[in-house]
Structure 1
Amino acid sequence: MHFSTTVLLSLTGAALTTPVAAAALGSKKNVYLATCITRGRDCNIPILCDLLNTITTADTSSAAAETFGAVIYYDGPATAGASPSDVGILDSARAWEGAARRTSLSVGDFESRIQRGAGDLAKSQIAGTAKLGDEELICFRDGEATFLFRQGLLGRRGTSCRADYWCASIEV
């Protein structure tokens, strides 16, 4: 499954649904490394989608939901209810830890390097580094911030994301 940045940003509503830490308000750039789940295009009844997803996990072509990685970028503070500046989609929901993950954003190429085992860290512990264009970022364990993207009639189709890591600009 491939999503384009245009598709995700054109959804009827995109919002950070969890309050952000005070440190995020001081960073010039905020990037969230998230794991996202989207309901399939034929899914209009959320309860049915969840049921189908638990029953049919082997055949992803008929599954009601798909999982993928996303880089959610804010050019400035990420405040509750604010839409992101850009979203980069990764081809799979492969773990962030132990490997470089790359995508392109409107402001430049993004690369994260999260340490192996960082998923076991407590929230706010340093987990790795990242680079956005020429700018260095430091990444912290998150696991709590959530994002919701809605589309379709009455916003019944949607994508929900949970930030595994938060990366902030070193230049504050």
Structure 2
Amino acid sequence: MIATGGLILLGALLPALSSASPIVAAGSKHNVYLVKCQWSDCDIFCDPDDVALTAAAYFSGGPVPEGTTRAVTPTRLGRVSGQWEGTTKSVRLGTDGTFKATIPTSARTAKKGEIVGDATLGDEPFVCFKDGSSQIPLRYDGETYTCTTDYWCPSISVGETA
């Protein structure tokens, strides 16, 4: 009798349970692309080194869609000098904090998609993957740049992140 009563109760609850939304931890949408960029309007009289930039392009609303052809504006962009590999690079991303990336020298020979390093933006943790080929048209300081993504660093935070 108890088993039958339990089955009746379970049968009554199943429709409600199956239509309930699953409980999922909310992850951060924050993404940082470590990029090398060339000014798109550099003509034959332009020295590409004068208009190139190496930067951390921070997007707070999610990743840039693969194959994007329209110029996108990052939430923040922080310029750095030199290479990403072989040291910990720090760059201020406005009021969002300081982004620190550690990419070892061995990352230069990694395959696309391999985990090659880690980073933080304030206290938020990120993991960095080798890219080396994805192109992002980026707007910065009123100009359009063609950027190659050296490394992509998505947040791995699953807590409350603004």
Answering whether residue 103 of structure 2 is matched by residue 102 of structure 1, we say: no
| Other structure's SS at 2:108 match | helix
1:52: Cα distance to partner?
4.0
| Other structure's SS at 2:101 match | strand
User: Which residue does the alignment assign to 1:121?
Assistant: 110
CA distance in 2, matches of 1:151, 1:104: 16
| Compared CA separation, residues 151 and 117, structure 1 to 2 (3 A) | closer
| Compared CA separation, residues 77 and 150, structure 1 to 2 (3 A) | closer
User: Which residue does the alignment assign to 1:89?
Assistant: 79
1:85: Cα distance to partner?
1.4
Question: For structure 2, which runs of at least 5 residues remain unmatched after alignment?
Answer: 1-26
Residue deviations 1:35-72 (CA, integer Å, cap 9, x gap): 11226xxxx6x5xx2x445xxxxxxxxx2543221101
CA distance in 1, matches of 2:99, 2:138: 21
1:99: Cα distance to partner?
0.8
1:26-105 alignment, distance < 5 Å: 28-38=29-39, 46=42, 49=43, 51-52=44-45, 63-64=47-48, 65-80=50-65, 81=68, 82-90=72-80, 92=81, 94-105=82-93
CA distance in 2, matches of 1:170, 1:151: 26
Letter in 2 for 1:169: S
User: Which residue does the alignment assign to 1:7?
Assistant: none
What is the CA RMSD across the aligned residues, in angstroms? 2.6
Question: For structure 1, which runs of at least 5 residues remain unmatched after alignment?
Answer: 1-25, 54-62
| Compared CA separation, residues 150 and 129, structure 1 to 2 (3 A) | closer
CA distance in 2, matches of 1:163, 1:119: 13
How many percent of aligned residue pairs carry the same amino acid?
A: 35
| Other structure's SS at 1:118 match | helix
| Other structure's SS at 2:33 match | strand
Letter in 1 for 2:61: G
Please give the TM-score of this superposition, normalised by the length of structure 1.
Answer: 0.63
| Compared CA separation, residues 66 and 171, structure 1 to 2 (3 A) | same
Letter in 2 for 1:68: L
**Structure with larger Rg:** 2
Answering whether residue 160 of structure 2 is matched by residue 170 of structure 1, we say: no
1:117-156 alignment, distance < 5 Å: 117-149=106-138
Residue deviations 1:8-30 (CA, integer Å, cap 9, x gap): xxxxxxxxxxxxxxxxxx75211
| Other structure's SS at 1:84 match | coil
Residue deviations 1:86-124 (CA, integer Å, cap 9, x gap): 11112x2x1111011111113111111001120111111
| Compared CA separation, residues 150 and 134, structure 1 to 2 (3 A) | closer
